[in-house]
Amino acid sequence: MELTLFHKCVFEFIGTMVMILLGDGVCASSTLNKSKGKDGGWVVITLAWGFAVMCGVFIAGPYSGAHLNPAVTLGLALTGKFAWAYVPGYMAAQMLGGFCGAFLVYLFYRDHFKASSDNQESFITIFCTMPAIRHKSANLFSEFLATAVLVFVILALSTAGNGVTVNGFPSMMGTTVSTGSIGGFPVTALIMALGMSLGGTTGYAMNPARDLGPRFVHSILFKADSGWDYSWVPVAGPLLGAAFAAAVFLAIF
């Protein structure tokens, strides 16, 4: 079956939705009262987010390339590795997937949200990111640099030297092994490393779809302060970081 743009966007939507369901899910598990995972800590959260990305890649990788992130889509388009005509559809699918994944987290943990009604100010960090120290220029730099590293490494993984060797020939796609199965593992390790190393300042959004869609869910469900004055940082920072990574990649490779 020939995959159309619609099919690719469907897989981007599903992959992003599952990623956010599992990623925001571990934040809920570690935060909400009566949860068996309460106070799991930063290591648990970063490990689970890495595995969440891996699951999304396994779902969407063979069909859409599993960008799951508008910043990744932008970086690939800027380096000529992805068609610009597909960019709006991919980004829309990713944003919608982030929204739906976050809403599923609410449905799953609904009783626990009720049991934690005395601490509603913590709910926002289940759905989206907020900085540990609010300093927007520094927060923007954090998101910029973390995403630049993310996109640059993903681009580096696409080079021939990092490809899969099948029957003696290097290839990213290979003949028996797809990027969906192999590419998920280094990206998982990359997400974990970034979370543990560079995630402590802002919560390492690195992905507008990971942050903006779920922020809308928080705003709609809880009618609370959803940090809209900060919301532009985890959108602008990742997009700028992706553009910078693409420029550096083109200059070097």
Tell me which CATH homologous superfamily contains domain 5-252.
Glycerol uptake facilitator protein. (1.20.1080.10)
What's the confidence (pLDDT) of residue 175?
35
What's the confidence (pLDDT) of residue 170?
39
Q: How confident is the model at residue 184 (pLDDT cuts 50, 70, 90)?
A: confident
Look up residue 196 and give its two tokens. 């543990």
- What CA–CA distances, in Å, run from 93 to 35, 75, 200? 31, 17, 28
Look up residue 70 and give its two tokens. 């508008």
Span 182-196, average pLDDT: 89
Q: Which of 47-56, 97-106, 175-184 has the lowest mean pLDDT?
A: 175-184
H helix runs in the chain, sequence order: 5-31, 42-64, 70-78, 87-108, 110-115, 124-127, 136-157, 179-182, 184-198, 208-222, 233-252
Look up residue 23 and give its two tokens. 């990623």
Q: Supply the DSSP symbol for 36.
A: T
Span 222-232, average pLDDT: 94
User: pLDDT of 11-24, one tens digit each?
Assistant: 999 999 999 999 99
Look up residue 80 and give its two tokens. 């000529």
User: pLDDT of 62-112, one tens digit each?
Assistant: 999 999 999 999 999 999 999 999 999 999 999 999 999 999 999 999 999
216 pLDDT exceeds 80? yes
- What CA–CA distances, in Å, run from 225 to 122, 123, 217, 219, 222? 11, 10, 12, 7, 9
- pTM equals 0.92
Please say whether the dihedral angle defined by the alpha carbons of residues 47, 49, 52 and 54, taken in this order, is positive or negative.
Answer: negative
Query: 């601490």: which residue's tokens?
Result: 119
What's the confidence (pLDDT) of residue 168?
41
Span 36-60, average pLDDT: 96
